[in-house]
Each structure stands twice: as C-alpha cells, then as structure tokens.
Amino acid sequence: MNLRMITIYGVHRSRASRNIWLAHELGIPFKLVPVVQHYRLKEPIPADIVHTKSPSFLKVNPNGHIPTMEDNGLVLHESLAINLYIAKKHGGPLAPATVAEDGLMGMWALWAMTEVEPHSLSIAQHGPSPATLDALRGPFAVLDEALADGFLVSGRFTVADINVAEVVRYADGATELFKAAPRVKAWFEACRARPAYRKMWDAREKEPA
C-alpha cells in the first residue's frame, strides 16, 4: 500500500474537519495546507494569508471551496467524496468490505448532503427556526431507524458514520431534534467521544473563530 503523505487544503474550521478526523482514525500521515474561507476575512487581507479566492488556491480548486485533497497527483474536491476515497484506499474496518457496503456508504454521504446539510447548516449559522426544525424531523426519524444496530453500515463504525455525523453536527443546537431521536443522540455522542474526533476538535478549537 502506498503510504505517501496526502495533502489536505483547508482549515479545521471548515468541512476539512471531516477529512482530518478520518485521517486521525486511520493513523495516516497528512500535510495540512491552511486555506481560509474568503468570506471569513476582512479587507484588506494580508498578503501572506491564502484563502479560497487566492489565485494560487484557484489553480488547485477552480471552484474556490475547501477542502481539496491531493494524493500522488490525484486531486479531489468535495469533503464527503474525499473521505470515501481515503477509506477505500487504506482499507480496514472503516472501509467498505463488499460492493453492497460501498453502495450504502455512498448513499449515506449523498443523503447527508441533500436531506440534512442545507437545514443543519442553517441551524449552525442562524440557530433553530420552525422551518429548519420541520425540515429535519423527517430525516432525523429516518436516521434514528437506520441506527437500530448502533451504526449505519453492518453494525460497525465506518466512514459513513464520520460523513453523516459531521453533517448532523451542524444541528447540534437543535436539542429537540435529538430528544425525539434517541438513537441519533446516543450515536452522535459516541462519535464525538472517539479519540480521533477529539484530536480534530481540540485543534479546531485552537484556530481563530
């Protein structure tokens, strides 16, 4: 297996946290190239800060978003896709063991992105509202049912749990959603208690808000 160090462009206070968490879970080396979201910066932006609209970063990701990953010449954008790639490349219990598991992990990544993230991100940015709570009650009920075995795929912790938990995290302030979905609450707390998550989160807390 090629254990050449991967490069992650981004910061902990971004969706790059998903990739950093997984890298810590797998114990793989990585280089973090700090790229800050342009909208977080005030003009004039210091010349030594690389951000998502910097010409140097736009050469890496013309979409102007973080994270991006580079691995031995392969460049990937989109945090959830990056995680699926890293897990499959390095194998182990976090990766799919069968084609069926691969399909399920991909399904849950797309589900989180389409069914949950638009509303959970709104909660993170603006707080819960009647509209966002209404929009997430159904997805939280679906997730609660899917967690009957404790985790999303084959009853074990996998990259699917990382991808979905990081999207659900945005809704952390909506306590009533978690109270109505006890399996989701227990699963989410278990995910956040993992040493690899805590390592990522501790580094995130040290970054400027």
Nearest to 81 by CA among 106, 112, 111: 106
Pull the structure tokens for residue 111: 């589900």
11-35 exposure pattern, b = at least 16 Cβ within 10 A, e = fewer = bbbbbbbbbbbbbbbbebebebbeb
pTM of the full structure = 0.96
- Dihedral of CA 166/172/177/181: which sign? positive
Distance separating alpha carbons of residues 108 and 164, to the nearest angstrom: 7
Q: How far is CA 65 from the centre of its chain?
A: 14
Taken as a whole, the chain contains a residue count of: 209
Report whether 118 contacts 131 (CB < 8 A): no
Distance separating alpha carbons of residues 112 and 47, to the nearest angstrom: 36
Domains of the chain: 6-93 (3.40.30.10), 99-197 (1.20.1050.10)
| Per-residue pLDDT of the chain in tens (209 residues, 90 and over written 9) | 445 799 999 999 999 999 999 999 999 999 999 999 999 999 999 999 999 999 999 999 999 999 999 999 999 999 999 999 999 999 999 999 999 999 999 999 999 999 999 999 999 999 999 999 999 999 999 999 999 999 999 999 999 999 999 999 999 999 999 999 999 999 999 999 999 999 999 999 999 98
Report whether 164 contacts 110 (CB < 8 A): no
pLDDT for residue 134: 98
Angstrom CA distances, 194 to 9, 99, 135, 145, 201, stand at 24, 27, 29, 22, 11
